């Protein structure tokens, strides 16, 4: 029987029984060392090891039931290979999906490995598979329709973006070309939890560059006021996207050209979804009864106007952090704050 791993339409059901060790990412890396090093440092490889996920899973199960927990685990630890997280075979053995959402990939472990082109001299069969390059591959996990309030419409946002209309793909931004190959570190917002200083610094630099390419900050003086605008100029989806309730992006106004006089107007613009219980903000989706959307769609602008009758110059700063501090507090993870750099995306 072919090792075709089919996902139930109701969610990300993981296959029974471990695949052979030859399907482990370490086995792939024995020949593809550069890609293997990239992947080992990526959020995909760490998808099941995130301390944030580990803290959220019991909360999800208690609030929404065991099925909800299994939905989370089905994408973060799909079991396509022996890896705990998302391994090489999750993409390179994917032959299609049963719908572009909720992790419903079809994985065929006996089919030729999918690659960007044919490789007649490879030690295993390789085929050029269009699905490997398609946004639908990424969207299969990065489009979530539940459980409950855990709705992440990243693929839907992408389809409506100018970037999609121009023929860009997810890899255009998240797998930039480096030294003639696609970077398999999958740059995003999350830090490399538990990484050493060098890797953490490299990841922070990549994240900052991604955010700077996505967002533009504009400031103009209008009499005794400042007009401030943040525009999503570069992302092919909303910013933030995915688990947008986790993310923290905001604009502060400081005194002085370099901000040496301190913050005088905090968070005049904020980006990100806010879980709510009635009219009260809460940190976690499991404690909410609705979500107040606050992400910035592709091509959209968020504006603010504040009084500035002072003679001193103002410094307007756009900052971002991968996880909001109230989320860390709610999960008992404030110790992780040092691993969460505050990115200064723009200063005007």
The domain segmentation of the chain, as residue ranges, is 4-186, 215-347
With 0.85 as the threshold, say if the pTM is over it. Answer: yes
Look at the alpha carbons of 34, 39, 40, 43 in this order and tell me if their dihedral is positive or negative. Answer: positive
Pick the closest to residue 141 from 92, 73, 228 (CA basis): 73
pLDDT recorded at residue 178: 85
Q: Where are the beta strands (DSSP E) in the chain?
A: 4-5, 94-97, 105-108, 113-115, 126-128, 144-145, 151-152, 177-178, 181-182, 215-222, 225-232, 248-255, 263-271, 274-277, 280-281, 290-292, 301-307, 314-321, 343-347
DSSP 239: B
CA atoms within 13 A on the CB side of 328: 15
* Tens digits of pLDDT across the chain (348 residues): 444 444 433 344 445 555 567 789 999 999 999 999 999 999 999 999 999 999 999 999 999 999 999 999 999 999 988 888 999 999 999 999 999 999 999 999 999 999 988 777 788 889 999 999 999 999 999 999 999 999 999 999 999 999 999 999 999 999 998 888 899 999 999 999 999 999 999 999 999 999 999 999 999 998 999 999 999 999 999 999 999 999 999 999 999 988 888 999 999 999 999 999 999 999 999 999 999 999 999 999 999 999 999 888 999 999 999 999 999 999 999 999 999 999 999 999
Q: Compute CA 319 distance to the chain's CA centroid, rounded to the nearest angstrom.
A: 17
Strand order in the sheet with 301-307: 215-222, 225-232, 301-307
Which of 312, 300, 290 shows the shortest CA–CA distance to 233? 300
Residue 274 three-state SS? strand
Query: For position 13, what pLDDT does the model report?
Result: 46
């Amino acid at each position: 029987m072919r090792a075709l791993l089919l996902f139930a339409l109701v969610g990300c059901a993981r296959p029974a029984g471990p695949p052979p060790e030859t399907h482990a990412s370490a086995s792939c890396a024995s020949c593809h060392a550069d890609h293997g090093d990239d992947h080992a440092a990526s959020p995909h490889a760490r998808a099941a090891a995130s301390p944030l996920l580990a803290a959220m899973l019991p909360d999800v199960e208690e609030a929404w039931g065991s099925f909800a927990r299994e939905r989370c685990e089905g994408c973060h630890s799909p079991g396509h290979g022996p890896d705990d997280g998302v391994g090489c075979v999750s993409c390179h053995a994917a032959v299609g999906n049963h719908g572009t959402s909720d992790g419903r990939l079809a994985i065929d472990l006996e089919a030729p490995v999918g690659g960007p082109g044919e490789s007649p001299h490879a030690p295993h069969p390789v085929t050029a598979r269009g699905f490997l390059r398609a946004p639908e591959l990424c969207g299969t996990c990065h489009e979530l329709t539940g459980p409950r309030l855990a709705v992440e419409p990243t693929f839907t946002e992408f389809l409506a973006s100018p970037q999609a209309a121009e023929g860009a793909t997810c890899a255009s931004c998240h797998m930039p070309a480096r030294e003639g190959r696609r970077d398999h570190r999958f740059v995003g917002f999350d830090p490399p939890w538990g990484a050493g200083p060098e890797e953490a610094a490299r990841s922070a630099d990549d994240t900052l560059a991604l955010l700077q390419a996505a967002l533009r900050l504009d400031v103009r003086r209008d009499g005794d006021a400042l007009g401030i605008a943040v525009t999503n100029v570069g992302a092919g989806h909303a910013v933030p996207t995915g688990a947008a309730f986790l993310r923290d992006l905001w604009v502060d106004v400081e005194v002085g050209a370099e901000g040496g006089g301190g913050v005088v107007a905090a968070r005049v613009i904020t980006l990100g979804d806010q879980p709510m219980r009635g009219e009260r903000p809460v940190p976690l989706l499991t404690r909410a009864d609705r979500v107040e959307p606050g992400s910035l769609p592709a091509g959209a602008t968020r504006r603010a106007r504040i009084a500035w009758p002072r003679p001193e110059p103002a410094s307007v700063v756009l900052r971002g952090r991968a996880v909001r501090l109230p989320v860390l507090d709610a999960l008992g993870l404030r110790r992780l704050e040092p691993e969460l750099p505050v990115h200064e995306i723009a200063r005007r």
